[in-house]
Amino acid sequence: ATMPPLLCAIATAGRHGVLVKSALAMERLGEIDAVALDKTGTLTEGAPEVTAVRPVPGSGLDEGALLVLAASAEHPSEHPLARAVVAAARARGLRFAPAADFTAKPGHGVSAVVDGHVITVGRPRPPADVASRGGSDAGVVALPASHAEADAGAAGRPVPRTEADDGTVVLVARDGTPVGTLALTDRLRPGAPRTVAALAALTGASPALLTGDSPRAAARVATATGITDVRAGLLPQDKVDAVLQLADRNVLFVGDGVNDAPALAAAHAGIAMGRAGSDLALETADAVVVRDELAAIPAAVRLSRAARRLVA
Ligand code: ADP
Ligand code: MG
């Protein structure tokens, strides 16, 4: 028997580095006419580095002690930011303290008991605050004392932030009190600008950037990739809402994290980044980019369209 065109397209896409899970998934890829992409681990490499460690004056912590607290709490997490914090502590030869009661909250951060204190590491201000400011990014970060408080939408106490931070800033709190911030930057994937341009040409619509990170960190990546539609400070459900907002469009969503899984499921087609990707993202997506080569994404869309022309 001759192979049906969609199966041939799956085989060819595989050689380009995209594992498409079914003929139906292959077909959907050809139907997309809008694209939304996650930032961290998707447009960027997902291997950030800690660039600054800043204890809050009066916290009684020096840089090393702050990093030990953060790394001890982040140790069990798979999140790219967590791996960066752990790597920074290791690079300084610091010894971790044992952590108990670890919990991770997608899109927020982590919490664990270290030396008898509840340590949280996570986003520097509550989502409600971001929404009420319409996503603008002032020089002051309102700090949630805990994830619970962030959920309640209550703003914590403000801490001044230096103008130089255009990467990711995470907050470390001890028993609900901010004790410091860590700044992290992640490199753009080399193929990102070209891929964004190719997807814009294929769909006739400019791709959107959807991220849980701050507007400032999002803007840096958007500028570098030529994206103008930027939505920052999003929680996992906000990414779903953003995808569903484009209701008259067949949206392709590309992401890597646990926080991206709901949007991958809600989109017309979902593609996960394989290397840095969380298991949940890989399981939820219609296709997986196995070698993290972004150019494979427009290639798969083109292959699907060519196959569908043969089927029709
Ligand atoms: P993105 O949408 O950019 O992939 P996430 O939704 O995973 O990002 O995270 C959004 C924000 O939540 C991060 O920018 C960070 O402030 C915070 N965060 C999430 N997980 C962690 C973690 N393990 N450690 C520190 N901060 C985290
Ligand atoms: Mg991500």
Q: Out of 170, 186, 231, give the residue to mutate to test ligand 1, the one with the largest number of ligand atoms within 8 Å of its CB.
A: 170
Q: What is the pLDDT, as a whole number, of residue 145?
A: 41
Q: Active-site residue numbers?
A: 38
Q: What is the pLDDT, as a whole number, of residue 147?
A: 38
Handedness of CA 227, 233, 236, 242 (dihedral sign): negative
**Given a cut of 90, is residue 309 above it in pLDDT?**
no
From the CA of 237, the nearest ligand is: 1
Residue 282 CA, ligand 2 centroid: distance in Å: 12
Q: Following DSSP, what letter does each residue of 66-113 receive, concatenated? A: HHHHHHHHHTT--SHHHHHHHHHHHHTTPPPPPEEEEEEETTTEEEEE
Ligand 1, atom 13: closest residue by C-alpha: 213
Ligand 1, atom 26: closest residue by C-alpha: 122
Q: Verify whether ligand 1 is closer than 6 Å to residue 110 (CB atom).
A: yes
pLDDT band at 248 (very low <50, low <70, confident <90, very high): confident
Q: Report, as an integer, the average pLDDT of 135-156.
A: 38
Digit-coded pLDDT (tens) for 91-113: 999 998 899 999 999 889 999 99
Ligand 1 nearest-atom number relative to CA 42: 4
**Given a cut of 70, is residue 295 above it in pLDDT?**
yes
CATH code: domain 5-45+188-311 is 3.40.50.1000
Ligand 1, atom 10: closest residue by C-alpha: 212
Does ipTM exceed 0.85? yes
pLDDT band at 165 (very low <50, low <70, confident <90, very high): low
φ, ψ for residue 170 (rounded to 5)? -115, 150
| Cβ atoms of residues 294 and 33 within 8 Å | no
Q: Verify whether ligand 1 is closer than 6 Å to residue 231 (CB atom).
A: no
Cα Rg of the chain, angstroms: 20
Q: What is the pLDDT, as a whole number, of residue 102?
A: 97
- The full set of domain ranges for the chain reads 5-45+188-311, 49-185
How far is 191 from 78, CA to CA, in rounded Å? 24
**Given a cut of 80, is residue 228 above it in pLDDT?**
yes
**Given a cut of 90, is residue 125 above it in pLDDT?**
no
Class of the domain covering 49-185: alpha beta
Residue 70 CA, ligand 2 centroid: distance in Å: 20
Q: Verify whether ligand 1 is closer than 6 Å to residue 122 (CB atom).
A: yes
Digit-coded pLDDT (tens) for 8-65: 999 999 999 999 999 999 999 999 999 999 999 999 999 999 999 999 999 999 999 9
Residue 296 CA, ligand 1 centroid: distance in Å: 26
Report the amino acid identity of residue 4.
P
Q: What percent of the chain has pLDDT over 70?
A: 86
Average pLDDT, the chain: 87
Q: Report, as an integer, the average pLDDT of 110-137.
A: 71
pLDDT band at 1 (very low <50, low <70, confident <90, very high): low
Residue 254 CA, ligand 2 centroid: distance in Å: 9
